[in-house]
Structure 1
Amino acid sequence: MDPALWSSLSALLGALVGGGISWLLNRQQLANQLRTLQEQHKVEFMAETTARHFLSHKSYTDRSFETLRNHLGGFADDELRKILVRAGAIRVYREDGSEWWRLLSRMDEYIERKQLDQIAREI
């Protein structure tokens, strides 16, 4: 083979190996930084996880703000509302003026259940 071809192939191989190592190191560094940030903000992350847990219950698509406040103690009302929004929840008010929250990702399930309830009432 031509020496110019060998040098080109070896340069390409070196660049690929170096790029791969660099990518792996950056990926590992990013994962480490994410773990560090999660540890620094553990209270907020756990509060969001807990809120998501309560709002993901298979029997209940909605939860009252009072229920969530009782289970997620230690937060002011507005701070808890911010946590719920970060968890992916939306707020709705019922006819009696009470505040209820549901996950936006479960909106289709809520609509379907509401339609089934309406059909059941008509029967």
Structure 2
Amino acid sequence: MISEVVVALVSGGVGGAVTVYLARQKLRTEYRAEAAINQLLKHEEFKKRTFEAIKYRLPGFTDDELRKLLIRAGAVRLRSDRDERYGPYAEMWGLVKKNDDAIKKDDGPPALQPDAESDCPTCPWA
């Protein structure tokens, strides 16, 4: 009876220690990813970056996980300018501090209908 209790306590302790270790590893990975995102978005040459460029440099996260990390790092999603090389529908991200002007003039999501000259094959209305 006592040996069964000891085995149960040891098993529970080892299981708990493994759980704590894995949780710490996940948090450490997320913290380092946030720091990398911050460095990418603080780069002096770029005010904003495409989601695809950020995703390329930080593999191993789903799109939604990466968006959550971007928000925790202090980034916001921005509208792409029509004259940018990525097109009007590219998902752009930048730090709030570096994009005050874009945030002030942005009035929300783009209209649900594209204009006549635009072509967006991945849009829901296409």
TM-score under structure 2 normalisation? Answer: 0.53
Q: Match for residue 55 of structure 2?
A: 69
Q: Match for residue 14 of structure 1?
A: none
What are structure 1's unaligned runs of at least 5 residues?
A: 1-36, 112-123
Fraction of identical pairs, as percent: 37
Residues 71-110 of structure 1: pairs in structure 2 closer than 5 A: 71-94=57-80, 96-108=88-100
Q: Which amino acid aligns with 1:72?
A: L
Q: Match for residue 15 of structure 1?
A: none
Larger radius of gyration: 1
Aligned pair count?
75
- For 1:105 and 1:72, the matched residues in 2 are separated by 22
Once superposed, what is the RMSD of the aligned Cα atoms? 2.3
DSSP-derived class of the 1:105 partner: coil
Change (3 A) 1:105 1:47: same
Q: Which amino acid aligns with 1:102?
A: G
TM-score under structure 1 normalisation? Answer: 0.54
Change (3 A) 1:109 1:52: farther
Question: Which runs of 4 or more aligned residues in structure 1 lie more than 2 Å from their structure 2 counterparts after TM superposition?
Answer: 37-40, 107-111
> Do the aligned partners of 1:89 and 1:103 also contact (CA within 8 Å) in 2?
yes
What are structure 2's unaligned runs of at least 5 residues?
A: 1-22, 81-86, 104-126
> Do the aligned partners of 2:78 and 2:102 also contact (CA within 8 Å) in 1?
no
